[in-house]
Amino acid sequence: MKVIGDISVKCSLRQTCSCILMFFWRVFMDSYNGTPHTLTRYDDDISALRTMLMNMGGVAEQHFADALAYLLDGDAERGARALKQDYEINRMESSIDELAIQIIARYSPMANDLRTIMSVVKAITDLERIGDKSEKMARIAEEIGPILRHTDFIGHLRVMSRIVGGMMHDALDAFIRLDAIAAEEIIRRDTHVNEEYNAVHRVLLKYMNENPNSADVGLRILSCMRAIERVGDHCTNIAEYVIFQEKGADVRHSDISSNKQRTQI
């Protein structure tokens, strides 16, 4: 009788477990049957996140171009715009952060989608800092633009600006297309920016030592050069996030990134 009792208990436990499993299975299936709406909303949110990043990237790219037009060519209209754009970039960063948090809390994304969200959140930080550097250059242009444009260093600034402007455009394009090959090329391109910066840095320090009265202008030119070089670094970061999304590989300290020549402080 005791054996029969044990069997009864085991059957009861089996039935209970079976009921519990059936309950969760039905919940899962009910959820699954509703997934056309749920997954569509999820995909829409991920797509919206990437679109918002591209919009922010477009604003940051225009901000950088406007600041350079003011600095290098004295375009006052674009300069006035460059002095105001940082607010818009900061607002966009906050909106993207908020959506990213909502997606993580609502869907608990994994694998590729999680890498995408992480990459977007990191990229908007770089774009926000590009905005800061652009505003800084616009303010320097407002102070010493005419003087700077009559120095021998304006040509070097144009070279650096052209390289970095191309890097920014290509990095954003690679991000939207998930082009890891293009991203690797962008990372290597940063070497040219650093080489130009280091070469001019030495000449500029020598110039300031020989012309103490021009030290203030020299420091501002150096600040502009450093800002452009840092924008190049942020573009490199964005390219690294492309590789992270596409390959799941962190290349920040890999052979690709280690090829970048260090800049002088």
CA distances (Å), origin 6, targets 2, 16, 204, 260: 6, 15, 91, 72
User: What pLDDT is attached to residue 9?
Assistant: 42
Please state, as a whole number, how many other Cβ atoms lie within 10 Å of the Cβ of residue 149: 15
Indicate whether 207 pLDDT > 60: yes
Indicate whether 194 pLDDT > 60: yes
Output the six-digit token pair for 48: 């919206």
Contacts of 175 by beta carbon, 8 Å cutoff, 6+ apart? 53, 54, 57, 119, 123, 238, 241, 242
Percent of the chain with pLDDT over 70: 80
Indicate whether 27 pLDDT > 70: no
Banded pLDDT at 189 (limits 50, 70, 90): very high
Indicate whether 41 pLDDT > 50: yes
Indicate whether 257 pLDDT > 50: yes
Rounded Cα–Cα distance for residues 7 and 217 (Å): 92
What is the rounded average pLDDT of the residues 35-47? Answer: 76
Three-state SS for 238? Answer: helix
User: What pLDDT is attached to residue 219?
Assistant: 92
> Per mean pLDDT, which range of 8-22, 77-91, 155-169 is the poorest?
8-22
pLDDT, tens digit, for every residue of 224-242? 999 999 999 999 999 999 9
User: What pLDDT is attached to residue 35?
Assistant: 46
User: What pLDDT is attached to residue 119?
Assistant: 96
> The dihedral of CA 215, 216, 221, 224: what is its sign?
positive
**164 touches 197 (CB < 8 A):** no
Domains for the chain: give ranges and CATH numbers: 38-258 (1.20.58.220)
Output the six-digit token pair for 183: 């991203």
User: What pLDDT is attached to residue 17?
Assistant: 53
Q: Would you tell me the crossing angle of helices 154-177 and 35-73 to the nearest 10 degrees? A: 170
Indicate whether 143 pLDDT > 50: yes
Average pLDDT over the chain, rounded to an integer = 85
Indicate whether 149 pLDDT > 70: yes
User: What pLDDT is attached to residue 110?
Assistant: 87
User: What pLDDT is attached to residue 12?
Assistant: 57
